Structures are given as structure tokens and as C-alpha cells.
Amino acid sequence: MNFMNIFVAVAVSASVVVGAQDVFASDNGVAFLKEKEGHLACAKKVYSLPGVRFMHKIRPVDAMAEVSVSGLPEGLVWNASRRLVEGVVDIPGEYYYKVNVENGDSTVQETVSLTVSPDLQQPTPFMGWLSWNVVEGDISDEVVRTVADAMVSTGLKDAGYDYLVIDDLWQAKAREEGTGFPSPDSIKFPDGMKAVADYVHSKGLKFGIYSDAGSKTCAGCFGSYGFEEVDAKAYAGWDVDLLKYDYCFVDGADDALSAYTRYKAMGDALKSSGRDILLYMCEWGAREPWKWGAETGATTWRCTYDTRDGWNGTPGGIGIVQSVEGMKDIWPYSGVNRFNDADMMCVGIHGKGKSSNDLVEGAPGMTQTEYRTQFAMWCMWSSPLTLSFDLRKPIAEDDLAIMTNPELIAINQDPMGQQAEFIGEDANGVQLYFKDLANGDVAVAVLNMGDKTQEYIIDFSRIDALDADIPYKVRDLQARTDAGVHEGIMNVDVASHETKVYRLSR
Ligand code: GAL
């Protein structure tokens, strides 16, 4: 189909640089990104639930600069050796603190805003199922009902997957004449969208929909540009809970400032729609949305082009290799209510998808070890956990076990919302990550990107959340077994493309 070619063309051209302001350079866009970033290479708009442990790692753009923090609200302290703010704020409110960035003679100050509220839209990454990878244009009332039933009967809902999101190609050929109302395709959705949403809600699930900030969606249906208020009202009227908002057909509005303006227009429209609708941005990370997405009203943003069902993508394709490339270094920008999204997982697809099938080396599909790695890293990164396999068909026990591993899901859903910090990769392609957890535990992941099994020594002194001189009780979260007590170091074997994840408790 034509639209796939259009999308692939966009993806290929923009995949040259990840975080590609170079590709979409315009004076406006570059100046906008510089202004948003200022002197900090970390989030400046952060969130916390009252009474829940909060953490904010502060990193300067200039790696040589020293940072310190002043004006912290009651309950928070500055941890100078780890360069992070931590603690618990009990009283809801809007707070501000200052970060001092010093390099030689010059000191500059940046302001951080902290919103403490019991009503955050996305305190932990949302979990659910998206229709695109296996359903594409076959989406319909019947498919939604079948999938909703399956989410309940398979136990996925009980495991935490509670958003059912329909992607592109639900729309009628054109908007309603005169009113501009965004009607659904009447053959696919004969009873309209509200009936479908009602059914999804009756199963205890939430309902998400898809549109685009351009004149058309990526698959060529009508987009929302210029119709933001009409659409937001329509979605609210249908009781929609989430909007995935794409960025095709933007007619030259390619730079970050234009994208910000378009996303904010929809963010504002959703805010005044009368319903709490989560805005999920999908401009594929091309304009570094982690620096400005939160200011549009969005609480999550895609950080890569579309994930494919393979380990290594061919040019323009995103396999695990490219997901890792796109995600590993943007951890300072993630946090509660502001999550970096690594796109739909392909766990359970086994090469039998539609759009997820192309642009990979070899045949589509991954080994169970590779799917386990995908799941584990999405959990470590605090990415929304979105499944995309075919829920119209029975699911294999082993696939279900990967997706419902409660100990890994607990890492993903940790109330402190930290994305795992990337420490580095050794000469054999073994990567080391760690993630601070709300109860003081630390999750450590060892990911073998190479093609041979490696013996690896986890050196606790490289992980600043750990004390190398005290013993830790270790739990293996993939195997779901205890892994003994370790002090200072821990020896592990990691097979090719495998990820070991450990939870360390004092
Ligand atoms: C792409 C998007 C995909 C899917 C598709 C629908 O731009 O990244 O996730 O939504 O559009 O056309």
C-alpha cells in the first residue's frame, strides 16, 4: 500500500541521526531546542505523587560543569555525590528549585518545576495493547471486542495491561461535511465509536484512539490539524481515555518548534474537552521530544521509529539494536508522569505481524531470548509496556509468561519512575544498566548485544546506587529465583542477546 511507502520514506530519511535535529534543522527549531535544554541535559519539569519517594538526577550539558541545587521544598535533599535530588514531598503543590551550573568562573542558574499531585495522569508507564503491528486496516468493532475479551481471559488485564488502543485506519473516508466531525468508518464501526468504548470500559479496560498532527494520518486518513477542538470534543464524547498522536503530513512543519506548537494545540484541546485524556506523542523521537513534550500536555513520547520484529533493523528499521541506541542515553529525561516510550513490543508476534515484519535483517521474528530481552529492557527503561501481538488467536504459555512476569512488571511500574541509567558497554558488547527503585532496592541489568556467551563481572563500585562494601540479597528477575548474597562483585553468564536482570536489596 502507498501509505507504507510514504512512511518508510520518512523513516529512512530521518533514521540517519537518532535525536535528529540536524535532519529537521531550521533556525527556529534549533533555537527552540537550545532554549528548552538550557544548561541541563535532564528533565526540568518533573512530577511526584505526594508521600511517594521522589528522585531527580541532575546532569549538565557541559560534562565538565559542577552542579548543585538550592531552594528545595521540605522533604527533599541534594545528594551531591550522586548528583540527584531525593526525598518525599507530602503536600501537593507547585514547587520550584534552582540548579546552579558552574564551570570555572561562570555560574548559571536553571529553574526546575516540580508538580506534586495525587491526580497525575500517568504516575507509572501505561500498559496495554495497540492494534497497529498485526491488525493495521483490519481494525473494526468486532476486532476490538474480541481483543477486549482476550485481554481479560488471558490474564493480561490482571497483569496490568489495561489500555486497548486502536491505531490508524479507523476513520471514515472524510470528515462529516459542515461540522467537520471525525466519524469512524461506518462499515468497520457500524454502531459508532462510543459503543466500542462502552464495551471496552465494561470489561474494566480503558480505550485509546489514534490521530495525527498533520492534514492526514500516516496511513492517509484525515488528520487533526486545524480540527483539534472538534476532535478532542468528539473523543471526550466517546469516552476515550488516551490519544496516540502521530506526525505525518505536516506540510513542512518539520522542526521542533512547529511540532511543539501542534502538539500543544492538541494538548490544550484535550484539557478543555471535559475528559481526562492521556496524550501520547508519536513524532518518533526525531525532534528530541523528551526536552519539550511535557510542556505540551503529553505524558509520554515515542523515542524511536517503529519497532520491527527482529534483532537488527536494516536501514530505517528499528530492531532491538536500534531501540537500545535510541533509548540508552536519554534516561535523565524520564520520570514520573513523563516517560520515554520505546514503541510497541513485538513479543508474541513471531514474524507473523503486518507492519512490524519488514526492515529487519533475516526473516522477521525473534528468539524467545531476544523477546525476553525486549521485555526486560522496556521494563528497565520505564517505557510504556505496549503489546502488539495477535490477540484474536490463542497465545502460547511461554509468550504469556514473558509478558506477565510480575517481578519485571514491578520494575517497570516502580512508583519512583526512574529510567535505568546506562553505565557503559564493554569490548564484548555487554552493556550494564541500573535503576533506583522506590523502596531503596536497585535493579541491575546486563545485556549481551554480542553473538557469544560472555562471563561478566558486575562490579558494584561502578554503580553509584550501590555500596561496594556491604552485602546485598540478590533476586534473578528473569528466572524468578533467589541468586544468593553478594558483596562488591557478582559473576554472571550472559548468553548472546540475553538480558539478565537482578534486584538487589540491602
Ligand atoms: C506511524 C507510527 C506507527 C503507526 C502508524 C500508523 O507513524 O509510528 O506506530 O501508528 O504510523 O499509520
- Which residue's alpha carbon is nearest to atom 7 within ligand 1? 218
Tens-of-pLDDT digits for all 506 residues of the chain? 333 433 433 433 333 233 343 445 577 889 999 999 999 999 999 999 999 999 999 999 999 999 999 999 999 999 999 999 999 999 999 999 999 999 988 999 999 999 999 999 999 999 999 999 999 999 999 999 999 999 999 999 999 999 999 999 999 999 999 999 999 999 999 999 999 999 999 999 999 999 999 999 999 999 999 999 999 999 999 999 999 999 999 999 999 999 999 999 999 999 999 999 999 999 999 999 999 999 999 999 999 999 999 999 999 999 999 999 999 999 999 999 999 999 999 999 999 999 999 999 999 999 999 999 999 999 999 999 999 999 999 999 999 999 999 999 999 999 999 999 999 999 999 999 999 999 999 999 999 999 999 999 999 999 999 999 999 999 999 999 999 999 999 999 999 999 999 999 99
Of the residues 246, 309, 358, 390, which is catalytic? Answer: 246
Contact 170, 189 (CB under 8 A): yes
Cell numbers for 318, please give them: 528499528
CA distance 111 to 433: 28
Please list, in sequence order, all residues whose beta carbon lies within 8 angstroms of the beta carbon of residue 348, skipping any fewer than 6 positions away.
371, 387, 389, 390, 395, 396, 399, 400, 402, 403
φ, ψ of residue 236 to 5 degrees: the values are -60, -40
Q: What was the pLDDT predicted at 25?
A: 59
Which numbered atom of ligand 1 lies nearest the CA of 282? 8
Which numbered atom of ligand 1 lies nearest the CA of 302? 8
Amino acid at 125: P
DSSP code at position 123:
S
Which has the closest alpha carbon to 353: 341, 344, 365, 362?
A: 365
Whether the CB of 7 sits within 6 Å of ligand 1 = yes
Of the residues 212, 306, 414, 436, which is catalytic? Answer: 306
Whether the CB of 306 sits within 6 Å of ligand 1 = yes
Helix and strand numbers, DSSP H then E, in the chain: 12, 23
CA distance 371 to 362: 16
Strand ranges for 27-117 from DSSP E = 45-48, 53-57, 66-70, 76-79, 84-88, 93-103, 106-116
Contact 175, 182 (CB under 8 A): yes
Whether the CB of 222 sits within 6 Å of ligand 1 = no
Question: Which alpha helices (H) appear in 93-211, and where do they start and end?
Answer: 132-135, 141-153, 156-159, 192-202
Q: What was the pLDDT predicted at 8?
A: 38
Whether the CB of 421 sits within 6 Å of ligand 1 = no
Instruction: Give how far Cα 126 sits from Cα of 50, 392, 406, Å.
Output: 20, 22, 15
Grid cell 518508510 is found at: 8
Contact 368, 409 (CB under 8 A): no
Instruction: Give how far Cα 170 sits from Cα of 128, 182, 301, Å.
Output: 18, 10, 22
Task: Region of 38 please: left (phi>0), alpha (psi -120 to 50) or beta.
Answer: left
Tell me how many degrees the CA angle 53-503-301 measures, rounded to the nearest 5: 60
CA distance 84 to 294: 20
Grid cell 500516516 is found at: 218
Indicate if 476 belongs to the active site.
no
CA of 281 to the centre of ligand 1 (A): 11
Please list, in sequence order, all residues whose beta carbon lies within 8 angstroms of the beta carbon of residue 479, skipping any fewer than 6 positions away.
none
Q: What was the pLDDT predicted at 105?
A: 87
Whether the CB of 307 sits within 6 Å of ligand 1 = no
Cell numbers for 471, please give them: 552485602
Contact 186, 172 (CB under 8 A): yes
Cell numbers for 219, please give them: 496511513
Please list, in sequence order, all residues whose beta carbon lies within 8 angstroms of the beta carbon of residue 111, skipping any fewer than 6 positions away.
44, 96, 97, 98, 99
Please list, in sequence order, all residues whose beta carbon lies within 8 angstroms of the beta carbon of residue 145, skipping any fewer than 6 positions away.
196, 199
- Which residue's alpha carbon is nearest to atom 9 within ligand 1? 306
Q: What was the pLDDT predicted at 24?
A: 59
Whether the CB of 218 sits within 6 Å of ligand 1 = yes
Specify the pairing of strand 442-448 against strand 430-436: antiparallel
Indicate if 467 belongs to the active site.
no
- Which residue's alpha carbon is nearest to atom 3 within ligand 1? 306
CA of 212 to the centre of ligand 1 (A): 9
CA distance 8 to 179: 33
Half-sphere exposure of 297 (CA within 13 A, CB side): 20
Q: What was the pLDDT predicted at 16?
A: 29
